[in-house]
Amino acid sequence: MKILYFTLVLVLGDQITKFLVKGINLNIFGLIISLPGMSYGSSIPIIDNIFFITFIENPGMAFGMEFGGRLGRSLFTIVASILIIYFIYLNRKEGYYLKLSLSFILAGALGNLIDRAFYGLIYDYAPLFQGKVVDFFQINIPDITIFGKTFTSWPIFNLADLYVTTGFLMIILGYRKIFHKKIKEEIIDDKNLSPINKEEEKYFK
């Protein structure tokens, strides 16, 4: 379960970047943490007309997607995170590729969950589990019109969203490697292979 330490590092990275963008003033047992942050809606160009740091907040899921209420989304994320941790435990003896991809997804889920669960209390604008997610990465794209609506920018996102996307892409691109390896090991470990299974085995050599 050492992979969970990597998850923790990713979550810390996500939260630090959000505090830098939103700003924060905390006094924790005499330790004062004060960051000015950005004004809401302000934007800092990084790559001219392409990439910006733009501070917004949204009540939804990754990339601003929404379903259900804020409390429902928080509870869904908690359940999903528990299931991912359990799945990582079940596959603790598997190769690092699968565990790493799950770690990215878990870190993304936890990163945005912290926003929704605690930011309302920390910044004093909403009760527990009613907070909004801090987003700030903005990438402009060529104008695209879909169903009469024109999009000039990819939905603004954060590191947590990027983690989730990375994890799912790793699974999609590497699923053959992950599951074919597992099938091969099951075939080789079977001491009573039928003739049909022996014929199948050659495809995994």
Distance CA 62, CA 22 (A): 18
- Per-residue confidence (pLDDT) for residue 203, from 0 to 100: 45
Enumerate the β-bridge partners of residue 28.
31
Question: What pLDDT digit, counting tens, does each position of 147-197 carry?
Answer: 777 777 788 999 999 999 999 999 999 877 666 555 555 555 555 555 545
First to last CA, the chain: 30
- Confidence at 26, pLDDT banded by 50, 70, 90: confident
**Out of 135, 143, 189, 190, which one is annotated catalytic?**
135
- Per-residue confidence (pLDDT) for residue 177, from 0 to 100: 65
Provide the number of structural domains found in the chain.
Answer: 1
Residues 6+ apart with CB under 8 A from 190: 197
SS (H, E, C) the chain: CCHHHHHHHHHHHHHHHHHHHHCEEEEECCEEEEECCCCCCCEEEEECCCEEEEEEEECCCHHHCCCCCHHHHHHHHHHHHHHHHHHHHHCCCCCHHHHHHHHHHHHHHHHHHHHHHHHHHHCCCCCCCCCCEEEEEEEEEEEEEECCEEEEECCCECHHHHHHHHHHHHHHHHHHHHHHHHHHHHHHHCCCCCHHHHHHHHHHC
Average pLDDT value for the chain: 84
- Confidence at 29, pLDDT banded by 50, 70, 90: confident
Distance, C-alpha 13 to centroid of its chain: 12
Question: What pLDDT digit, counting tens, does each position of 196-205 carry?
Answer: 455 545 544 4
- Per-residue confidence (pLDDT) for residue 69, from 0 to 100: 67
Taking residues 108-124, report their average pLDDT: 94
Among 49-58, 68-77, 94-103, whose mean pLDDT is lowest?
Answer: 68-77
Contact 163, 14 (CB under 8 A): yes
190 annotated active-site: no
Question: What pTM, to 2 d.p., does this model score?
Answer: 0.80
**Out of 14, 161, 189, 190, which one is annotated catalytic?**
161
Taking residues 103-124, report their average pLDDT: 95
Domain range spanning residue 36?
3-204
- Confidence at 27, pLDDT banded by 50, 70, 90: confident
- Per-residue confidence (pLDDT) for residue 70, from 0 to 100: 72
Contact 78, 114 (CB under 8 A): no
115 annotated active-site: no
